[in-house]
Amino acid sequence: MKHDRRDFLGLGAAFLATATLSRSVNAKEEESCGHPSKTKQPTIAYHPKRVLSPATMITSQKGKNYNPVVTLNGWTLPYEMKEGVKEFHLIAEPVLREFSHGMVVNCWGYNGTSPGPTIEAVEGDRVRLIVTNKLPEHTTIHWHGLILPNGMDGVGGLTQPQIGPGESYVYEFTLVQSGTFMYHPHADEMVQMAMGAMGMFIIHPKNPKEHRVDRDFCFLLASYDIAPGTYTPNPSTMTEFNLWTFNSRVFPGIDAMNVRVGDRVRIRVGNLTMTNHPIHMHGHPFEVTCTDGGWVPKSARWPEVTIDVGVGQMRAIEFTAAHEGDWAFHCHKSHHTMGPMGHGVPNMIGVKQDDLSEKISDLMPDYMYMPMGKNGMAEMSDMADMGMKVPENTLPMMTGTGQFGPIEMGGMFTVVKVRKHQPKGDYKDYGWYQFPEGSVAKKR
C-alpha cells in the first residue's frame, strides 16, 4: 500500500491535505502493520519510560577508566555487575518518540526509546545481555560488527530460535575488540528496523590511553516514511522515505555537539537506513579513525570534509576543534536535510501562479492551494509560521531559526558548537556563537 502524499498533492498543483483525509490514511496504515496507532494527537508530553536521572549517571560512570560517549538525544544503558559479568537488560517494545517539537511517532525501540539506549563496555569485559520481547511479534538481537560465538550472533532461525512475545533470551559473550558497533533485530528486519528498533554498542579500548578523545559523540541514521497527518511509519516503503533522522530526531530537534577549542572530537555515525549518507562537516577537515570493522591504522587515514556512510556501515570521524563558531554538520543529500511536508510536489519554479489559487479554490473549496516556490522553495520555509494549515503531527519541509533568520533545514542536520570560553567541566549549550564584530559576511 503506497498511500502517498503525491496522491493528494496531485492535480498539477500543490495542496495541503485536510485533516479528514489524513485520518483515513492513518487508519489504513494501522491495518498495514498491526501496530496500535494513535488517531489523535496525544495530549501528554513525550517522556521516555526510563529517564536517566543524575543519580543513575553518576552510578553508571563511577570508576570508569574511559570517557563515556555522548549519545545525541539519547542515553547509555546502566548495567549491574554480577560475579564479574556486566549484566544489561534490554526490553524490545513499542515506544513513542518525539521527532521534533510538533511530531510524535509510534516507533518500536528498547527500554522506552527509539533508538534504544547505547550499550557501553570495555574490551575484555564479559557481558550478559538479557533481552525481553514486549513487541507484538517475535524478534532477536544481532550485535552488528562484534566478534562473538556463532550462537550469540542473533540471527533468527539461523543461529537461534526467534524470541517470542513475552519471552526473554540471554546472550553472553566476552568482548574481544574495541570500537563502534550497533545492535538491531535480525527477525522481520524490514518492519522492525523501519519502526526504529536499533541502538549503538560502544566498546572502549582496554588501555584507556589508546584512541583517547575529549569529546566522543555517537548517533544512528534512520529513515521513516510517515504520511503527513499520521503517526506510524510505513514499513513496506523501500525508497520513498520522507523523514531522515539522527537518532530518530530531526532538526531543530537534534542536540548540538558542544566542544571547546583544542578538544579532540570523535563523532561516530552508524547507518541503518536503506541508502547511503554523505556526512559533511563544516570548518574542520577530519579523518575516519574507526569503522565497524575496527580502528583504521594511522598510516591509512586521509583528510576529508565529507564521508559517505554506506548502508549497514559505521564511520567514526575525528578532528581537533580549532576554529570557534557554529559549524553545520549534516547529510549532504539535500532532501535528507528536509522535513516531510512539501516533498513530491510539482515543479513550480518559474511558473506564473497568480490566478491558479482562485481557480482551484473555486473547484475544491476544502483544499488550500499553496503557490509553492515560483522563485524557489525558500519562500515557504516555515509554513506554520506563515499561518498556513499543515496536517496534524506533520513537520514543515524547512524550519529552524538561527540568529540571522531561517536555517531552512528539517532532517539530518545539527551544529558543532566550538567555543573558546566553554566553562571547565561543562559542555552545556549556551546558544548561538557571538561573532566578533566585523567577522560576518554583510551586504555591500
Q: How far is CA 429 from the centre of its chain?
A: 19
- Which is closer to Cu ion, CB of 206 or CB of 333? 333
Residue 371 in grid coordinates: 503557490
Minimum CB–partner distance for residue 277 and Cu ion (Å): 3
One-letter identity of residue 339: G
CA distance 418 to 143: 34
- Which is closer to Cu ion, CB of 69 or CB of 412? 412
Minimum CB–partner distance for residue 241 and Cu ion (Å): 10
SS3 state at 48 = coil
CB-neighbour burial class of residue 436 (10 A; exposed 0-12, middle 13-18, buried 19+): exposed
Stretch that binds Cu ion, among 168-176, 252-260, 264-272, 326-334 (CB under 5 A): 326-334
Minimum CB–partner distance for residue 221 and Cu ion (Å): 7
Q: Does 148 bind Cu ion (CB under 5 A)?
A: no
- Count of residues engaged in binding Cu ion, rule: CB under 5 A: 4
Identify residues 393-412 at the interface with Cu ion (CB under 5 A).
none
**CA dihedral of 217, 219, 221, 227, whole degrees rounded to 10:** -120
Minimum CB–partner distance for residue 331 and Cu ion (Å): 3
DSSP 251-266: TTSSPPEEEETT-EEE
Q: Does 336 bind Cu ion (CB under 5 A)?
A: yes
- Which is closer to Cu ion, CB of 144 or CB of 336? 336
Stretch that binds Cu ion, among 101-109, 171-179, 256-264, 327-335 (CB under 5 A): 327-335
CA distance 42 to 72: 24
Binding string, residues 256-295; x marks residues near Cu ion by CB under 5 A: ---------------------x------------------
Minimum CB–partner distance for residue 244 and Cu ion (Å): 6
Minimum CB–partner distance for residue 239 and Cu ion (Å): 13
Contact in structure between 226 and 383 (CB atoms under 8 Å): no
Q: Does 343 bind Cu ion (CB under 5 A)?
A: no
Stretch that binds Cu ion, among 49-57, 227-235, 294-302, 332-340 (CB under 5 A): 332-340
Identify residues 176-205 at the interface with Cu ion (CB under 5 A).
none
Residue where the block lists cell 559517505:
308
CA distance 210 to 297: 12
Minimum CB–partner distance for residue 48 and Cu ion (Å): 26
Q: Where are the beta strands (DSSP E) in 35-122?
A: 70-71, 80-82, 85-100, 103-110, 119-122
Contact in structure between 420 and 325 (CB atoms under 8 Å): no
- 3-state SS, 163-229, equals ECCCCEEEEEEECCCCEEEEEECCCCHHHHHHCCCCEEEEEECCCCCCCCCCEEEEEEEEEECCCCC
- Which is closer to Cu ion, CB of 184 or CB of 330? 330
- Which is closer to Cu ion, CB of 267 or CB of 331? 331
- Which is closer to Cu ion, CB of 16 or CB of 416? 416
CA distance 319 to 264: 6
Which residues in 314-323 are b (16+ Cβ under 10 Å) and which e? bbbbbbebee
Minimum CB–partner distance for residue 72 and Cu ion (Å): 16
- Which is closer to Cu ion, CB of 211 or CB of 336? 336
Minimum CB–partner distance for residue 337 and Cu ion (Å): 8
- Which is closer to Cu ion, CB of 144 or CB of 277? 277
- Which is closer to Cu ion, CB of 391 or CB of 400? 400
- Which is closer to Cu ion, CB of 260 or CB of 277? 277
Minimum CB–partner distance for residue 192 and Cu ion (Å): 21
- Which is closer to Cu ion, CB of 15 or CB of 246? 246
Stretch that binds Cu ion, among 199-207, 259-267, 336-344, 379-387 (CB under 5 A): 336-344
**CA dihedral of 410, 412, 415, 416, whole degrees rounded to 10:** 180
One residue of 333, 344, 357, 377 binding Cu ion per CB under 5 A? 333
Stretch that binds Cu ion, among 160-168, 196-204, 335-343, 396-404 (CB under 5 A): 335-343
- Which is closer to Cu ion, CB of 23 or CB of 333? 333
Apex 269 CA angle, 265 and 271, nearest 5: 175
Q: Does 331 bind Cu ion (CB under 5 A)?
A: yes
Please measure the distance between the N-terminal and C-terminal CA atoms of the chain and give it in whole angstroms. 54
Minimum CB–partner distance for residue 242 and Cu ion (Å): 13
Q: Are strands 215-224 and 142-144 parallel, antiparallel or unpaired?
A: unpaired
Residue 406 in grid coordinates: 531561517
Minimum CB–partner distance for residue 373 and Cu ion (Å): 22
Apex 377 CA angle, 374 and 380, nearest 5: 100
Binding site for Cu ion (CB under 5 A): 277, 331, 333, 336
